[in-house]
Each structure stands twice: as C-alpha cells, then as structure tokens.
Amino acid sequence: MNWGTIDKYAKSLIKEAGHKIRVSFFNTIDVDTKADANDLVTNIDKAIEQFFISRIQSDFPNHFVLGEEGFGDDIRSLDGVIWLLDPIDGTMNFVHQKRNFAISLGIYCDGVGMLGYIYDVMNDDFYHAAKGEGAYYNDEKLPMLEVTPLSEAIIGVNASWVAPNRRIENEPIADMVHKCRGTRSYGSAAMELAYVSSGRIDAYLSLRLSPWDIAGGMVIAEEVGAIGTNLKGEKPNLLNQDTFIVARPGLHDEILRNHIRLK
Ligand code: IPD
Ligand code: CA
Ligand code: CA
Ligand code: CA
C-alpha cells in the first residue's frame, strides 16, 4: 500500500469538500432531524458524504467507507482498508453558527489508524497525521504533549454529561469540574480531539460518540502522545457507539481513576 499517495489524495479530497461546504452557504440549506428534534442533518452532510464515497469507490475500489450518513459500506469488522468519515462533525454548529464544524477522516488498515485528518472548514485549519510520522497543524509539526495536573487542565466536556443523567454518577464528574482549571464545550468532537492534540485543551470526554467522530482524531492524538480510550480504559470502539476520553498522559489516568463512575 502506498500510504504517501493515499495521503496526498485524501488531503486534496478534503480541501475540495471544504470548498463545497463553504460555497453551500450561498444556497438554502435543508435541515432535517434524525433520532430526535435536536439531532440535525442537512442536505450538505449527505452531499459531502456522497462526494467522498463516489471518489473513493472509483479510485480505490478495494477500500471500504464507513460514513455517518449511511451511504458507505455496512462495516462489521475492521479488516482491510476502511475510510471512517464524518462529512460534517458539528452539524448543529454548521446550521446555527455557520462555523465551528469540521470534516473528520481516519484511514485504517486492519484496525490500525494509518492516516488521520481534521479540517476546520471555516478557519481553513488543517490537522493531520500519518502513523509514526508525527502530527501537524497546517504545516507546523505538533510537539509531544507533556503531563499536566487536573488543577491546571482545561477539560472539554458537554454540560449535559455533568448535569444528572442516566449514564454516569454525577458527584465525581462534578468534582472534576470543580477541581480543573476550566471547562470548554465546542460542539464538535473532532475539533476537540484536534484541540487536545495541539495543546489548546488538555482532555476531552463524552458519554456517547461514534467511530466516525473519533477515527481521524485518534491518529493525530496518538502521534503527540495523547491517550484515547473509552471510559472503562479500553481501546476506543471503531465499530459501535461508546464512551470516550482523550487526554494528556497522566491526566487521562487521573480523570478515569477519580472522576468517572459509570452507572
Ligand atoms: C456530534 C458532535 C458533538 C458531539 C455529538 C456528535 P455530528 O457529531 O461531535 O460535539 O457531542 O455526540 O454526534 O452529529 O455533529 O456529526
Ligand atoms: Ca450527526
Ligand atoms: Ca460527528
Ligand atoms: Ca456528522
């Protein structure tokens, strides 16, 4: 497999898709809902996923695609080369704010993340990594992450996971919020992974994410020494929805040990 060729191809595909998304704001966007009234999807999420799939299928007919909007393959195992794609991560931001959303793509071979990309479309900020070759923010190589204690850490977490909910004991996670330096919530898991990888925040956690939310970001995060697991400390799930945390080394352990009690 020539990963260098695939890397160049994927970058240019993502940039082209980003351009299509920016241009889409000149037309009316159709907004629909999925699982509930706040789970938004638009004609652009679907069109961008279809754009990627038609290109990948014609240029890499032996590869598989797992995309959020369901136009790709029905993936039951991680065998072979799989492109895990979120055409727009942060659809709510896309609809309401017209910014703060990203294209997220991870290319995996037999379950191993080889290439990862997160493209912050409106800021034209590109995060990418190739396994073993380091991670980049635009053309700048990202340094390895150093250990930070919780008391000096900014944690990416959605307020709904700190308000009482059916998935996690409230007291320990509320205690984390009190003990850390500050919290942020950006509304795009992929961008939050990119922010952990580039040291803008120190950890990000969620009680429910899908493979396409984390696949690209995990390749980038691993290249700078961040630790990503589910909230039980197991390998991230690339086939099904699961809990998720990514953090600087040390901090990952501290949060899991002291502040996460799943119900
Ligand atoms: C969502 C975003 C959001 C996260 C949700 C995801 P989408 O992805 O990443 O930040 O909290 O769990 O589903 O639907 O906008 O691609
Ligand atoms: Ca969605
Ligand atoms: Ca997503
Ligand atoms: Ca999406």
ipTM of the complex: 0.98
Q: Is the pLDDT of residue 1 over 80?
A: no
Q: 253 falls in which pLDDT band (50, 70, 90)?
A: very high
**CB-based burial, 25-45: b 16+ in 10 Å, e otherwise:** eeeeeeeeeeeeeeebbbebb
Q: Look at residue 133 in the predicted model and tell me its pLDDT.
A: 98
- List strands edge to edge, sheet with 182-184: 182-184, 154-157, 203-209, 242-247, 227-229
CB-neighbour burial class of residue 166 (10 A; exposed 0-12, middle 13-18, buried 19+):
exposed
Longest dimension (CA), the chain: 52
Which residue is closest in CA terms to ligand 1's atom 15?
Answer: 90
Please report the pLDDT score of residue 245 as a whole number. Answer: 98
52 C-alpha to center of ligand 4: Å?
14
Residues of the chain with pLDDT > 90, as a percent, come to: 100
Question: Are β-strands 203-209 and 242-247 bridged in parallel, bridged antiparallel, or unpaired?
Answer: antiparallel
This prediction has a pTM of 0.98
- 214 C-beta closer than 6 A to ligand 1: no
Alpha carbon nearest to ligand 1 atom 16, residue: 89
Give yes or no for residue 213 CB within 6 A of ligand 1.
yes
pLDDT digits (tens, 9 = 90+) for 108-166: 999 999 999 999 999 999 999 999 999 999 999 999 999 999 999 999 999 999 999 99
104 lines ligand 1 (CB under 6 A): no
Helices assigned H by DSSP within 25-161: 43-59, 91-96
User: The tokens of 98 are what?
Assistant: 């017209």
Tokens 């952990």 correspond to 196
- The stretch 20-45 carries a mean pLDDT of 97
Domains and CATH numbers, the chain: 3-141 (3.30.540.10), 150-259 (3.40.190.80)
Burial 184-197 (b: 16+ CB within 10 A, else e): eebbbbbbbbbbbb
Is 10 near ligand 1, meaning CB less than 6 Å away? no
